[in-house]
Amino acid sequence: MHVLIAGAGLGGLTLAQNLRKRGISYEIFERDEHKDARFQGWAIALHTITDELVASMPSDMPDLRQATDHMSPLKIPTQICLYPAESIVRVGWEDCPETPFIRAERYRLRNHLATNIPIQWGKRVQRIEHDDQGVAVYFEDGTTAKGDILVGADGVKSVVRQELLQKSHDEVLKIIPLAAIVGELKLSGEAFKRQLQLSHGSYSLIDSEKGYLTFCSLHDVTPDGKSARYYWIMSRSDPTIVDPDHWLHKATQQEKLEHAREVMSNREPKFREIFDLTPVEGIKKETHIWRDLELSSLPAGRVVLMGDAAHVMTPFRGE
Ligand SMILES: Cc1cc2nc3c(=O)[nH]c(=O)nc-3n(C[C@H](O)[C@H](O)[C@H](O)COP(=O)(O)OP(=O)(O)OC[C@H]3O[C@@H](n4cnc5c(N)ncnc54)[C@H](O)[C@@H]3O)c2cc1C
């Protein structure tokens, strides 16, 4: 049995580790030229699956928490909190022995999952062929790989899915009616400490009257523990986001930042601070349109899909 994996993201690499542990022959192909070719995102919460994930990995893996925890080198328990506008209490979760959870910095997590995995870089899947005898994958660089099973772990815009279903992305991907503004910033000293007082990690500001949910989170901490990168995503339900004339598609970074500050203007200063300290250049220029996908079934055969290729996990669903 020889398994071909298309895509060395979180899903493909997790599968590769599982196959490595079981001594099953595999190859894994990634379109990017190297591991630093693309921004890997901010942080991802690992909670109920953590024990199973670790148990499914080979024994030579470094410790998952030590390798990926976005709070490192600070030794404080990670928290996820909610601050509803109409309430003075905060609710949430804290990492503890009874309910352990890790917020993993995504770049570190991908590197961790790549431990002892011989990723074949610069291999963009272009086309596949499959029949009773086996499966062949054709890459953009003109090379081919052959195997018994192909796993499409090539993300939301999966070429493997497109080839398998013979359907375009637009035919299967649904638009999530969400308008979002994204900001990034670096915080040091007292401002960083004040964010940690709001939450050791991440918190959501909910304003049901204005219809906004804003997720603010630590990305990672500098090695000296004195500064940190943060990001926030301010979103509201808005089916008109697909309209190319939607104001967010045309807004400048300054206009988006001013809008975010205006939305937060009725909140206490401690909640406004992260927006006040965000520099204009920290606002994402492009307005992302989130996509969703749920396939009810796949054709039986030698090609399967996993991860976002099969069922997109939006950040909000993930948390
Ligand atoms: C901002 C953000 C925050 C998130 N937070 C969370 C969270 O907290 N919790 C959670 O559960 N989920 C979260 N998610 C969702 C989670 O990140 C995804 O579900 C997960 O990354 C999917 O893994 P994957 O391996 O299927 O796809 P990906 O991670 O997208 O990996 C796909 C890989 O395939 C490669 N590839 C693509 N096309 C080809 C091709 N043609 N040939 C070869 N290789 C190819 C890509 O370069 C990539 O390396 C978040 C997503 C985002 C965007």
The pLDDT tens digits of the residues spanning 88-98 come to 788 998 999 88
Banded model confidence at residue 316, pLDDT cuts 50, 70, 90: low
The verdict on whether omega for the bond into residue 100 sits within 30 degrees of 0, i.e. cis, is no
Give residue 26's pLDDT band: very low, low, confident or very high (50, 70, 90): very high
Q: Does ligand 1 come within 6 angstroms of the Cβ of 124?
A: yes
Q: What percent of the chain has pLDDT over 90?
A: 83
Cα separation, 125 vs 143, in Å, equals 10
State the DSSP H helix or E strand holding residue 193, giving kind and residue range, or none if neither.
helix 189-198
Give which of 168, 146, 179, 189 is closest to 250, Cα–Cα. Answer: 179
Binning pLDDT at 50, 70 and 90, where does residue 264 land? very high
- Band (pLDDT 50/70/90 cuts) for residue 315 is low
Residue type, 120: Q
141 C-alpha to ligand 1 centroid (Å): 23
CB of 9 within 6 A of ligand 1: the answer is yes
pLDDT of 212 above 70? yes
Mean pLDDT across the chain: 94
Rounded CA-CA distance 227/74 in Å is 11
pLDDT band at 81 (very low <50, low <70, confident <90, very high): very high
CA 307–ligand 1 middle distance (angstroms):
7
What per-residue confidence (pLDDT) applies to 189? 95
* Radius of gyration (C-alpha) of the chain in whole angstroms: 21
Cα 186 to its chain centre, rounded Å, is: 20
For residue 107, the model assigns a pLDDT of 96
**Neighbour count for residue 55 (Cβ, 10 Å):** 8
CA distance 265 to 275: 10
Q: CATH for 2-35+114-172+291-318, among 3.90.1580.10, 3.50.50.60, 3.30.1370.60, 3.40.50.720?
A: 3.50.50.60
Q: Name the 3-class secondary structure at 190.
A: helix
Q: From the CA of 307, give the closest atom in ligand 1.
A: 26
Section 293-299 average pLDDT: 87
Average pLDDT on 231-247 reads 94
pLDDT tens per residue across span 92-116: 989 998 888 899 999 999 999 999 9
For residue 318, pLDDT beyond 80? no
Residue 290 has pLDDT above 80, yes or no: yes
180 ligand 1 Cβ < 6 A: no
Give the residue, 296 or 218, on which the prediction is more confident.
218
- Contact 29 CB / ligand 1 (< 6 Å): yes
Model pLDDT, residue 319: 47
Please report the DSSP string for 42-107 in residue order: SEEEE-TTHHHHHHTS-TTSPPHHHHHBTTTTS-S--EEEEEETT-S--EEEE--SSS--EEEEHH
- Summarize pLDDT for 40-52 with one digit per residue, the tens: 999 999 988 888 9
- Count Cβ atoms within 10 A of the Cβ of residue 151 and give its class: 0-12 exposed, 13-18 middle, 19 or more buried: buried
Q: Measured from the CB, is residue 8 less than 6 Å from ligand 1?
A: yes
- Give me the residue spans of the domains in the chain: 2-35+114-172+291-318, 177-282
Ligand 1 centroid to 313 CA: how many Å?
8
**With 0-12 CB in 10 A as exposed, 13-18 as middle and 19+ as buried, what is 2?**
middle
Q: What average pLDDT does range 138-147 have in this prediction?
A: 98
